[in-house]
């Protein structure tokens, strides 16, 4: 059967109706924003709350207006990141959630049954850092098909550059360390990608894993001499400061030394969230434009890609450079956020953790990296809560005796399950859920 005989597919690929969720979203948000702001923020005065509410509503209304498709999609509309009404609804919800989440977490609201609300803020910030690194790692391993285990070496490189540029040279200037780390990551990343020009699959994996140990050697030989035996300290006088042009913001007061230090989960969230979101958007944009398409082409068939005019070697090295640059930046963020980095911050376990994150989240999906890192950090929290609060888990001594081992066992078990039954991971499950939701909403319509 040829294409033209099937009008159903022809229609579906070109026109859209706004979804139910999309139609009601502005109303939902309008109802929820003042409530949450009112309930959660004690240290903001009324006018700030009103201003934030109006700003969020204006943004949502503008996007809803701009993104409502009218008739056939033009190419410009078709190129959008969020093409379908359902995509747009979810994107708006995510954006809204990211803006509101810190206020909820910072409030003194306590959920029932001692659910670990208070510790969540630190976990959310770690998820942001890991999501950025894992997304970059997934771009290289999943999307570009260059199996690499050198990513933790680039986290270490980020810490090294953060230590030299951010701490030694500028005494805690993270904003200088970030671009420096990106640059260093891109250059060293391209060098670490050189084996990819000759090797594939398992052999490439071994070669890049070797690079990890080279970086650890650099750390041991060079850095312990300059930064001391324990590692680099990013805390105290080396903490990053808030830029002076932002001091007018609410809740930004100097501490007893008159310094505006980025400290506390709430402030860190507003540093980490935009950087993570922007760098992930950058990678998504790369994927949907020329060079990103070339990455996929090289992954699938390199001979065929080269006959389309793609310089395969250059494309591979660019994938390595891009991925390593972002990983190095997340290394800088992690260093300044966590406060100190030593040799055992970059052990083999960390390498495996990233592999777990992208396998559980979903191979070759940027979204999967976000889901994966959320899963990776929330699972221990929930498991801990279950051990303490749920009677049927609390009584099993075995679980309480070996908490971290069982954490790992659960993760390992899930990796096996997911590889066997759901190769596209949590991102795939999420896609299925969205499709199911769309179908059931559509069915209810008269």
Judged by beta carbon, residue 300 or residue 388, the one nearer other proteins is 300
Judged by beta carbon, residue 40 or residue 323, the one nearer other proteins is 323
- Does 17 bind other proteins (CB under 8 A)? Our answer is no
Do 408 and 147 meet the contact criterion of CB atoms below 8 Å apart? Answer: no
- Does 94 bind other proteins (CB under 8 A)? Our answer is no
Strand segments, DSSP code E, in 114-155 are none
Angle at CA of residue 288, ends 371 and 198, nearest 5°: 85
> Dihedral (C-alpha) 441, 442, 445, 446: value to the nearest 10 degrees?
-150
Contacting residue, 31, 45, 66, 75, with other proteins by CB under 8 A: 75
Q: Which stretch binds other proteins (CB under 8 A): 71-79, 188-196, 219-227, 379-387?
A: 71-79
Strand segments, DSSP code E, in 339-396 are 340-341
- Does 293 bind other proteins (CB under 8 A)? Our answer is yes
- CA 102 – CA 21 distance, rounded (Å): 24
Q: Which stretch binds other proteins (CB under 8 A): 3-11, 208-216, 226-234, 398-406?
A: 3-11
* Count of residues in contact with other proteins, rule CB under 8 A: 39
Give the x/- contact pattern for other proteins in 321-350, rule: CB under 8 A: -x----------------------------
Judged by beta carbon, residue 172 or residue 185, the one nearer other proteins is 185
- Does 168 bind other proteins (CB under 8 A)? Our answer is no
- Considering only residues 229-288, where is the footprint of other proteins by CB under 8 A? 282-283, 285-286, 288
CA 216 to chain centre: 25
- CA 182 – CA 321 distance, rounded (Å): 9
Name, in order, each residue with C-beta under 8 angstroms of 129's C-beta and a sequence gap of 6 or more: 272, 276, 330, 333, 334, 337
Q: Which stretch binds other proteins (CB under 8 A): 37-45, 304-312, 349-357, 431-439?
A: 304-312
Query: Quick one: residue 339, left, alpha or beta (phi over 0 = left, psi -120 to 50 = alpha)?
Result: left
Angle at CA of residue 372, ends 383 and 148, nearest 5°: 125
- Does 440 bind other proteins (CB under 8 A)? Our answer is no
- Alpha-helical (H) ranges within 262-310 are 264-287, 290-300, 302-306
3-state secondary structure of 363: coil
Do 215 and 149 meet the contact criterion of CB atoms below 8 Å apart? Answer: no
- Does 10 bind other proteins (CB under 8 A)? Our answer is yes
- Does 68 bind other proteins (CB under 8 A)? Our answer is no
- CA 89 – CA 76 distance, rounded (Å): 19
Q: Which stretch binds other proteins (CB under 8 A): 197-205, 216-224, 289-297, 426-434?
A: 289-297
Contacting residue, 296, 351, 406, 415, with other proteins by CB under 8 A: 296
Q: Shortest gap between Cβ of 2 and other proteins (angstroms)? A: 7
- Does 312 bind other proteins (CB under 8 A)? Our answer is yes
- Does 82 bind other proteins (CB under 8 A)? Our answer is no
CA 184 to chain centre: 21
Q: Shortest gap between Cβ of 10 and other proteins (angstroms)? A: 4
Contacting residue, 113, 202, 303, 420, with other proteins by CB under 8 A: 303
Residues that bind other proteins (CB under 8 A): 1-4, 6, 9-10, 13, 75-76, 78-79, 282-283, 285-286, 288-294, 296-297, 300-301, 303-312, 318, 322
């Amino acid at each position: 059967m040829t294409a033209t005989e099937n009008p159903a597919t022809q229609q579906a690929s070109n026109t859209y109706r706004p979804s139910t969720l999309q139609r009601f979203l502005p109303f939902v948000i309008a109802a929820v924003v003042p409530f949450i702001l009112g309930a959660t923020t004690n240290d903001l005065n009324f006018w700030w709350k009103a201003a934030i509410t109006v700003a969020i509503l204006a943004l949502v209304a503008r996007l809803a207006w701009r993104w409502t498709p009218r008739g056939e999609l033009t190419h410009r509309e078709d190129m959008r990141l969020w093409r379908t009404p359902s995509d747009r609804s979810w994107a708006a919800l995510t954006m809204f959630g990211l803006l509101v989440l810190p206020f909820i977490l910072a409030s003194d609201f306590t959920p029932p049954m001692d659910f670990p609300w208070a510790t969540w803020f630190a976990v959310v910030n770690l998820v942001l850092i890991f999501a950025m690194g894992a997304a970059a790692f997934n771009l290289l391993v999943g999307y570009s098909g260059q199996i690499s285990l050198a990513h933790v070496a680039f986290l270490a490189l980020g810490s090294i550059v953060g230590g030299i540029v951010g701490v030694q040279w500028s005494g805690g200037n993270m904003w200088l360390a970030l671009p420096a780390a990106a640059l260093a990551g891109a250059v060293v990343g391209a060098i670490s990608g050189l084996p990819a020009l000759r090797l594939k699959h398992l052999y490439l994996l071994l070669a890049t894993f070797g690079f990890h140990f080279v970086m650890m050697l650099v750390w041991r030989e060079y850095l312990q001499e300059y930064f001391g035996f324990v590692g680099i300290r990013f805390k105290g006088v080396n903490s990053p400061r808030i830029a002076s042009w932002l001091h007018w913001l609410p809740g930004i007061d100097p501490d007893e030394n008159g310094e505006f230090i980025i400290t506390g989960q709430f402030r860190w969230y507003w540093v980490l969230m935009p950087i993570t979101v922007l760098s992930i958007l950058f990678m998504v944009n790369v994927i949907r434009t020329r060079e990103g398409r070339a990455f996929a082409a090289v992954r699938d068939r390199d001979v065929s890609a080269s006959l389309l005019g793609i310089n395969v070697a250059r494309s591979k090295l660019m994938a390595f450079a891009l991925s390593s640059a972002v990983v190095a930046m997340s290394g800088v963020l992690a260093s300044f956020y966590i406060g100190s980095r030593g040799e055992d911050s970059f052990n083999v376990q960390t390498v495996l953790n990233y592999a777990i994150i992208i396998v559980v989240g979903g191979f070759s999906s940027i979204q999967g990296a976000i889901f994966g890192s959320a899963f990776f950090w929330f699972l221990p929290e929930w498991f801990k809560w279950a051990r303490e609060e749920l009677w049927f888990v609390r009584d099993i001594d075995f679980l309480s005796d070996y908490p971290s081992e069982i954490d790992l066992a659960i993760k390992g078990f899930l990796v096996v399950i997911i590889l066997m039954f759901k190769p596209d991971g949590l991102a795939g499950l999420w896609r299925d859920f969205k499709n199911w939701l769309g179908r059931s909403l559509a069915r209810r319509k008269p």
